[in-house]
Amino acid sequence: MDHPVTSARSSDGIVNSLADTHEPGRELVSSERVWSGPIFAVDADQVRLEPGQEPVARQVVVHHDAVAVVALREAETSSQADGAAEILMIRQYRHPVRACLWEIPAGLLDVAGEEPAVAAARELAEETDYEAATWNTLAEFYASPGFTTEGARIFLAQDLSLLPEDRRTVREDEEAEFVPTWVRLDEALDAVMGGRLHNPSTVLGVLATAQARTRGWVGLRPADAPWLRSPESL
């Protein structure tokens, strides 16, 4: 039998009753850390899903959360002849999938105590040599909630400017290959819908930006908006 969601519309017209929630009531019977590294750890958990039931085994990859940035400019600040909206992208080799992927700037929340918006600004500067004066939240997601704690927040960065030479980061390893490239937002959207882009932050960031544009950029959340992060993330 179908169970419809009862929606309530707020004063600004946004339906807000459809929402994920933390559920701390499930009993964690035991947890053993079976492996640990600099980016993630692996826990072997026993969790009781319902009172009186036998616990079930779950393997959990405990991972740093991440941030990603859609850096956008349009109109007179765009490099496009028609002033079309464009976003900043880089192409990076990703060894686990043996592929070079077009991506928006991104990185891990692996600096103790660093606020996500600060980390996003740092990653934008390190990977592209740009800074932004205006920041908003676009979207969040869990990378693969069936087995890992990793979550990511995607920011929209606007009012961009190039960093002076003395504030730029020397990029190394895979990052030494980065060539920051301005791409028309509509071209990126076509690439997502055509199955030519595969990085999840990029796919969601492009779709969210395109949707925000259709709404006239109204209703964007602030950069420090609440975030349903996993309490177990590194």
- Highest-confidence segment of 1-10, 20-29, 136-145: 136-145
Final residue in a domain of this structure, among 14, 43, 62: 62
Residue 173: inside a domain, yes or no? yes
- Which residue among the candidates 27, 114, 115, 175 is catalytic per the annotation? 175
Residue 5: inside a domain, yes or no? no
Kindly provide the residue ranges of all beta strands, DSSP E only, lying in the chain, ordered along the sequence: 27-36, 40-48, 56-63, 66-73, 86-94, 99-103, 106-108, 130-142, 151-162, 181-184, 221-222
pLDDT digits (tens, 9 = 90+) for 191-203: 999 999 999 999 9
Q: Are strands 66-73 and 56-63 parallel, antiparallel or unpaired?
A: unpaired
Residue 28, exposed/middle/buried by CB under 10 A (0-12, 13-18, 19+)?
middle
174 is catalytic: no
Q: How far is CA 232 from CA 1, 43, 130, 165, in A?
A: 34, 10, 32, 39
* Integer Cα distance of 23 and 46 in angstroms: 16
pLDDT digits (tens, 9 = 90+) for 203-220: 999 999 999 999 999 999
- CATH number of the domain bearing residue 117: 3.90.79.10
The count of structural domains within the chain is 2
Instruction: Name the residue among 33, 92, 98, 44 with its Cα closest to residue 68.
Output: 92
